[in-house]
Each structure stands twice: as C-alpha cells, then as structure tokens.
Structure 1
Amino acid sequence: MRNFGISLLAALFILTSCENDKGNENNQETEVNENVASFKEIGSITIGGEAAAEISAYDETTKRLFTVNNSGTNQIDVIDLTDPTNPVKLASISLTTYNGASNSVAVYEGKLAVALESTVNKQGNGKVVVFNTSDYSLIKEITVGALPDMITFSPDGKFIMTANEGEPNADYTVDPDGSVSIIEVNKDYAVTTLNFAGFASELTTLKTKGFRVSKKASSFAADIEPEYITISADSKTAWVTLQENNGVAKVDLASKKITSLFGLGYKDFNTAENGIDVSDKDGAIAFNPWKLKGLFMPDAIASYTVSGTPYFITANEGDAREYDGYADIARLKNLTLDATVFPNAATLKADASMGRLNLISTEGDTDTDGDLDELISFGARSFTIWNGNTGSLVFDSKNDLDKRSNDFGTYDDNRSDDKGSEPEAVVVAKMGNKNILFVGLERTDTVIVYDITNPSAPQYLQSIKTGDAPEGLLFVPASKSPNKRSLLVVSSEGDGKVKFFQPDLL
C-alpha cells in the first residue's frame, strides 16, 4: 500500500474552478467545472529537434505562446494558441543581434522578457531583452549577472527577476559570482544585481545544514549557482534554488536584499519508504533501502500559501559539476570505502549492486582519512514541500515519483544508477478551492499530478505521458486560457515538442 496514495473516491473527485475574468466588465467570475484528475492531451506542435522547446510563456492579450528554440538557431518561436487543439507557428523572434543565447522566457500583460547568456563570453554578464508581444518590437535591453538561467515576472508585474548561474569556464580558471538580478519595470527597468558574498561568514553553520561549497571554489560568492526562482503571490518575497549548493535563498523584493540562505540537508535512502533502484545492470527494477544519502539539489521551485503560511516546493533533480578542470562525480566502484563502515565493500562494488551508482566523490570522508565513511548521491528523486519562513521540511514524496513512473510504464531503468526519474519541473495551480501540483520528470517523460491543498499530506491524482525530456511546465488558468479552460503546457527539450493538456468538463 503506497504511503500517500488516494482513495478511489478521491481520485474521481470534482472541482469547480472559479477565477476572476479580467475581460468581464461586470467583474463576474468565470465558472468552469473540471475534474482535475483527468488531464488529457488535446494538441501538440513540433518546433524543431533537440533543445528546440525548453521553456514557454503564454500571453493572454494576443493568445500567443513564446517558446525558446535553441535547436540550431537562436530564436523565440511564436505559436498561435487561439485554438489549443490546433497550435500554429506564426513567427520567430531572432536573437542573434543581441549576442546572447536564450535560456528562459516570461510574459506579463503584453511584455515578453527573455534571459540571454552571452555568446561572446559565457562567463561575462548576460542580458534581459523585453519585447512587445503584439509586434515583437524591442522595448528594453538590460544588463544582468553572468549566465541568467531563469527569468520570471512578479505576479503584480512590477519586477522581473533572473537567476544568474555564473558557471565557470571549462578549465575552471574563471568562475563569476552567482547572482540574482531584480529589475523594476516601472522605473525604466532599473536593475539591482545581488551576489552572496555577505553570507560567506555563515558557511560553517550552513554546512551543518547540508549546504555545500565546492572544493574548487575560488570564493563563496563565485561558487553559488542560482538556478530557478519563484515569487510569492503578493510579490513581496522570492525563493531561489541554489542547485549545486543544495540550498535555497530567500529574497525580499521591497528592500532588494537576500535575507536568508537555507541548507536543505540530506535524504536518507536507508528506509523502505525511501528505497530506490541503484543499478542499471541488475536486470530488474527494485526499490530497496540502501546505506546511502542524497543531497536534494533542487532545480525548479514553486510556491503557494496556506492559511497565511508560505511554502515552497522543489523538484529535487540533483546536478554534478563536470568540467575539464574539475569534476565531483564518480561511480561507487571506483572509490575507496571505509572498511569498518562498509565491511561488505566488495559486494557493494558489483555492477548489479551499487557499483555503478554515481556519487558525489568529494563528499562523505567525514574523518578526512582518504576513504568514504558516508555515500552521498546527487538529488533526492522526489519533490519536497518546505516552510517558506524557516526552510524546514514539511513533506517529501519519498520514492513515489519513481514508483508511480514504474506503475505507469515510463520508468527508465537505464537511469537507475544516476538520478532515477529526475524531477525537473514543478508548477502549482489554484483550481477551485484546491492547490494542484504538477511535477515534470525529465527521464520518464511524465508529469505527475498531486493535490497539495494540505501541505503535509499531498494526494496523488494522475500521471500524464509527455514528450521526450519535459523541461518546462506552464499552467494557464481558465480565466486566461484561449478557450476559457484550464491548460497545462509541457515543453520537451528532447524532441522539440510542445504539448497541451486539459481536464475533462463535468
């Protein structure tokens, strides 16, 4: 029996989705009766090959979808979504003149913001370019930190934020500071870029909470690598994932200051409910407990509020540092284990056991004698709900994502030695009186849907087959959707497809 499944009655429950319709002059509500456990594919479009469809953003004013396309060109593809069952490519916005490659897009009321890493010098400052969604004319070009990897508007449209990853070059001789940029839209796009140097003195304490700084780091600020941002519904607070550092930063938008860093700790895989498949060579898919820990290392992040308490949700993908000049990943069979802690080391090193499991090679030598006393892997193979004020763990999905994928027939055993189903994306949507979570799994080509109205007891709703390697999830509420129906948009970088899903009406 799954430890947080859903009853048959709950699986079939029905919601009324009531949302404000900005287009209604009488400010009445648009009522859409939808079964949130019944999302089905209604349309699809292919815009290119691999890397063609990573992230998408929807503009309500023009009923257009804007999708990153880096499959061979450097552009944003524009898709007409007037009829989501028949999406049509309208145009492309070329980005070659801006000397940057697009990583992310966001839209707010007729403005399209694009995050561009420099193609002249990847370790140099990046850009945000803002276009008019109706005629694609340039509104503003803004300099931000190095390698802006994700961009978003605040819900009130007053701010644009970027997570500037600041990755090092291949030989690790140049490593720019990771940073976040805050752009004030109503102040002629004035920008404030914040780094993390002020938290260097807290490193010892942060390490006790699982926060991680590379052994190759030139400085604390340079080692921090912001990945993804979520902003609270009141546009006052942002949370930023620091993936390689196993942390999350909290940002106050009014003061434009980073107020806290949260270390996310470790996940213990040595329990039945956290059991995972660690080998791609054992001839089976078996989720068992192992003497192993994982760093959460989240990629995407989302947020919501329940009874006045803010929560953020992370997709715990995990990520290694792999460069010509430095790498922190190695298979267990190639590492030296402490003979006292692991008297069965020879057995563990077999390919059909833990031998092929990828570990963080620079972690786990607790007594600094040159061998591993703990085994630490990349990612938690889960989604987690955290308290937004304290950073404390409220709920972790344990091994449910891998097990649900296996039940659904999409689990890829070839990834068992790495990061399993590899949770990549998370999006929270308000549907009626329920908070619904969509989790994108990059390696099982699946979106799994949960009711997270109660943050401490999520309920599984549905599994959805997607394109190859879903990277970006976007939820369009019924009030903004082109057909006035809730719409889930899934952009998949493996096959360049954008797919559209809607729930059944009652």
Structure 2
Amino acid sequence: MKQLFTLVGLLSMAIIYSACDEETGFKAPDENPSTFSEVAHITIGGETAAEIADFDPKTKQLFVVNNDGESRIDVIDLSDPATMSKTGSISIASYGAGVNSVAVGGDYLAAAIEAETKTDNGKIVVFNLSDLTEVAVINAGALPDMVTFSPDAKYILSANEGEPSDDYKTDPIGSVTVVMVDGFTSTTLDFTSFNSFQAEGFRVSGPDADLAHDIEPEYITVSPDSKTAYVALQENNGMAIIDLETQKITSLVSLGLKNYAANGDQVDPSDEDDKIEFRDVPANIFGVYMPDGIAAFEVGGETYVISANEGDGREYLYDADEATCDANGGDYDEDDGCLAYGDEERLKKLDLLESAFANADDIQEDEAFGRWKAMKTDGDSDSDGLYEKVYTYGARSFSIWDAEGKLVADSGDELEKAVHAAGLYDDGRSDDKGVEPEGVAVGEVNGKMIAFIGLERVDAIAVYDVSVPSSPMFLSILETGDAPEGLVFISAEDSPVDKSLLVVSCEDDGTVWVYSPEVFM
C-alpha cells in the first residue's frame, strides 16, 4: 500500500479560539471544523497519477506522486487553492522503477523509490526545496513504500515493506530506514531479534516464514516531540515502536481483536442479499485491526496514535502455464494465472466447529455471513480442520491507541453507518472490508484536534473531533474523487490562504482535492 497522509504544521502549543501566536504574530481564524467543504480539484493524469502528496509552506508548492506513465513527482502551485495549477515535474526514471511516497521537512523533499526488481533494496532520494536539485541518494531496504520526516525535520524514515516476489520464491526482510538529516547518514533496522515473538502469538502467516521475513512495515508516524516513531505492521496486526535517539526498535505490540458481538457493533457482510442491512455479528467472529495509515498526535501532554483499520489479505499471483504452476506447488486458474500463496477464504468455505457456532449452516448462507472474506490461516488453534473462531480482515473503523499501543477508543460501526446515511455506501464491498479505512491525518482546527479518515472504497473522508481521545465525536462526511489515498492537513498558520486546508489525492482517477472550513460569523 502507499503512503496515506502527511501532517503539516501540527502546532506544539494549543491554539485557542481566535488566539494570536505571540512568537509569529499569527492570529488563528475562528474556524468551524464541522464545515469542511471542497474548494477546488485538479486532474493530473489517470489511474496511479495522484497517490501521495505533501506541501511546502515556504514555496507554497504541493508535491504529488505520479506513476501514470513515466514515474515522476508533479509540482502544483497551491498559492491560491481555488486556481491551483501544475507547474512542473521531477523525473524519477534514473533512480528506480517508481516513486511510492514523498514527504517535506525543513529545507528538503524526500522520495521513496523502489528498485527495478521490487525485492531488491530501494532508495530514498532527497531534493532541495529551493531549486528541486538532488541533495542525497540513500540506500534503503527492499520496497521503500512510505517516507516521512520527524516533526523537527532531523530524521527521515522509510517503511521498507520487503514484499515477496509474485511467485513467493524470494521474500526479503521488512525493515525501517532511519536517516539523520545532518550528514544524511542512515541506519536500517530489521526485526530479526524479535523472531521469538512468533511463538508468543504475534501473527505470522506467510508460508515457512519467520517473523523478520513475514513483517511488512506499512506506515510510519512520529510523535510530536520527535523522539518516538510508530510503525504499522499491517499484515501482522501489530505496531513497532522505535526510539529515535538510540535508533533501536524498543517493542512490538500485537493489537488484538475487535469483538463485534461483545461491543454490539454491526456489519453489512453480504453483497448478494440485494440490500444494505447492518446485522449483529455472531459470537466467535472477530475483526483483525490490521491498520494501514497511522498518525500521532498530542492531547494534554500525552501522545496518541490513530489508526485506519483497513485490513489486508495476501494474494500472490504470477504468469505461468498450468504445468509450471503445478510443479511449483501453486494453484492454477485459467483467468488469473498461478496463485503462489493466498490467505483469504470465504467464510462459507470454512469448516466451523459446531460447539462454537451452533447455527453454522445459517451463518454460512451467502445472504448472511457466508460471503465475508476471512483468514484461512488463523482460527483453527488445534489444526483439526475445524475453526473455533473466524478472523476477518480489518475492523471497518478507526482506533486510537496510547503511546504504549493500548486501545483507547474505537469508532465501532459508526463509519459505515455514517457513510450509508450520506448515501455513499457501496454494497458491492460488503463481503470484503466494507468502507476500507485507509489513511488518516490529524491537525488542530480552532483549538480542537480534528482527524480525517480516508475511506477508499466509498470515495469519502470522515471528519472527527478527537480532542477527547477516549470519546471521538463524528462531525461530517466529505465526498472525494475515486479512491482517496493520500491525506495532507495544512494548518491555518502554514496555509497559503491563512485557513486550515485538507488536501486529498485520489489514485484511481488522478485527481487532487482541496477542502477548507467555514469561519464562524
């Protein structure tokens, strides 16, 4: 997956209503965070043309990943969002196969570049923001898929997914590269010292993989004090915590399970019942959070991490004839090719333990829960072929965690019901991961901490007040282009128009959207 948000200008001092920053003289506008609406949008290409973006407040330029055709970083003049325009591009062709992510920090623009062979080590390329010339090329791990700066711009970090080859014959280790901006020296951290965590229940699902090879770092966020990095380990349903001063991974946290039944959270699990119906979930069917985008923020001196609980199954297909596929131990399909490995299965195809699922036949009907995609690798604890529990991908929600990775709050079933109320719910995704929360950005608007959650499969953004982390409050739903991927919050102080802005890049239609709130009258 791609980088999903960038937080620009998160203020270290709380802004109160219509307050004036004594250091800068900036007077914060009296904005209403419930009223974000579209200012304008621009098309910069087709599919994959607008994946990830970041903003430089000094030059008032937006930098957007564009892999439609020749891989490049497009430059957009955002000095007037209502009339934004593309002014140039930075070619990435000489550095590798494609650009996956960009980030702005201090005087620099950083880009994550994957190698021509994705299992080889990639690069982080750094450019001067003043003239967009190359400053440094830094070796990273395999498949650097997301890059970010620490808030103080002293560190650059990349999440190196280390995805296996399509035939699953080569599986590099996942890693995180930490770059000291002063001198551009780097350290790449891997997870080999944590292999014992597999025996302690940390999810490892790849074939014959140890934890270090199975881990695929997805996303990174850094605490507001720039001391701690948090890394989303999506496929492993976990989070790593890194001490940036020592440049060591200090802990791995398993995020646990979402108990739909105990929480009273409903889902619409079927795409074949000709209706949108939110239903109570039977006992022993759980959601596995598996976050994609994460964002760190601070309230009352405490650090929190908000996660978009997308979920992600593994499916590795490659081109091969039937004989070759069979010889390699794959599953051949005339239309799809050779499946080297997959961990998804329809719930109706799992053999359920009757004592755990008394009404298994009813549950497994297509019109009930039978179409819901579940993990075939987990839930049969004694390997007798009968599933005592069913684990589904993602949680159809966002969650807030404390600095140690303990759950503080979860949005439950509110995202999907809010989208349905707005008339945007896609019933065709009910059997998969629903609205698929993918990215998240957090910023301060008129003294309130506001979260924006990208909902990839319904082309929307959910807006929440998370000023009280234990009790997130829903504010609104914003419509976007096709498949919102990257979210950038720009504070009013850093904004070219002295108003808070939200920038959303949409990868399936190549559009970039800008939103702003109204000012209280």
Determine if the alignment matches structure 1 residue 367 to structure 2 residue 367. Answer: no
1:423–1:18 CA distance, 2 compared to 1 (3 A): farther
State the partner residue of 2:193: 198
Provide the rounded CA distance (Å) in 2 between the counterparts of 1:122 and 1:313.
Answer: 29
Contact 2:437–2:456 (CA<8 Å) still a contact in 1?
yes
1:72 maps to amino acid: G
2:458 maps to amino acid: T
Provide the rounded CA distance (Å) in 2 between the counterparts of 1:15 and 1:85.
Answer: 27
Deviations 1:110-148 (A, max 9, x none): 3110001112x1001010001122322111111011111
Determine if the alignment matches structure 1 residue 278 to structure 2 residue 269. Answer: yes
Aligned with residue 286 of structure 2, among 286, 293, 305:
293
In the TM superposition, what are the counterparts of 1:149-164 in structure 2 within 5 Å? Answer: 149-164=145-160
Look up the SS of the partner of 1:49 in the other structure: coil
Provide the rounded CA distance (Å) in 2 between the counterparts of 1:73 and 1:273.
Answer: 48
Determine if the alignment matches structure 1 residue 35 to structure 2 residue 32. Answer: yes
State the partner residue of 2:102: 105
Contact 2:265–2:281 (CA<8 Å) still a contact in 1?
no
State the partner residue of 1:259: 250
State the partner residue of 2:49: 52
Provide the rounded CA distance (Å) in 2 between the counterparts of 1:20 and 1:165.
Answer: 40
Determine if the alignment matches structure 1 residue 431 to structure 2 residue 432. Answer: no
How far apart are residue 197 of structure 1 and its match? 0.9
Aligned with residue 474 of structure 1, among 488, 504, 507:
488
Determine if the alignment matches structure 1 residue 176 to structure 2 residue 167. Answer: no
Deviations 1:92-115 (A, max 9, x none): 111001123111100123311000
State the partner residue of 2:519: 505
Provide the rounded CA distance (Å) in 1 between the counterparts of 2:18 and 2:173.
Answer: 44
Look up the SS of the partner of 2:264 in the other structure: helix
How far apart are residue 15 of structure 1 and its match? 7.2
How far apart are residue 217 of structure 1 and its match? 4.0
Look up the SS of the partner of 2:261 in the other structure: coil
Provide the rounded CA distance (Å) in 2 between the counterparts of 1:19 and 1:356.
Answer: 55
Query: Percent identity among equivalent residues?
Result: 49
Contact 2:162–2:173 (CA<8 Å) still a contact in 1?
yes
Contact 2:198–2:210 (CA<8 Å) still a contact in 1?
no
Provide the rounded CA distance (Å) in 1 between the counterparts of 2:20 and 2:74.
Answer: 29
1:227 maps to amino acid: E
1:481–1:19 CA distance, 2 compared to 1 (3 A): farther
1:240–1:217 CA distance, 2 compared to 1 (3 A): farther
1:261 maps to amino acid: L
Structure 1 segments (4+ residues) deviating >4 Å: 17-21
5+ unaligned residues in a row in structure 1: which ranges?
A: 1-13
Contact 1:296–1:380 (CA<8 Å) still a contact in 2?
yes
How far apart are residue 17 of structure 1 and its match? 5.6
Look up the SS of the partner of 1:421 in the other structure: coil
2:518 maps to amino acid: D
Aligned with residue 393 of structure 2, among 378, 392, 402:
378
State the partner residue of 1:342: 357
Provide the rounded CA distance (Å) in 1 between the counterparts of 2:210 and 2:170.
Answer: 11
Deviations 1:238-289 (A, max 9, x none): 1000000000000000000000111000111224731101001111111112
Look up the SS of the partner of 1:362 in the other structure: coil
Determine if the alignment matches structure 1 residue 491 to structure 2 residue 505. Answer: yes
1:272–1:109 CA distance, 2 compared to 1 (3 A): closer
Look up the SS of the partner of 1:325 in the other structure: strand
TM-score by length of 2: 0.90
Provide the rounded CA distance (Å) in 2 between the counterparts of 1:125 and 1:273.
Answer: 45
Look up the SS of the partner of 1:299 in the other structure: coil
State the partner residue of 2:315: 322
1:18–1:66 CA distance, 2 compared to 1 (3 A): farther
Provide the rounded CA distance (Å) in 2 between the counterparts of 1:436 and 1:220.
Answer: 35
TM-score by length of 1: 0.93
Determine if the alignment matches structure 1 residue 87 to structure 2 residue 84. Answer: yes
How far apart are residue 62 of structure 1 and its match? 1.1
Alignment RMSD: 1.6
2:17 maps to amino acid: T
1:71–1:78 CA distance, 2 compared to 1 (3 A): same
How far apart are residue 430 of structure 1 and its match? 1.4
How far apart are residue 306 of structure 1 and its match? 2.1
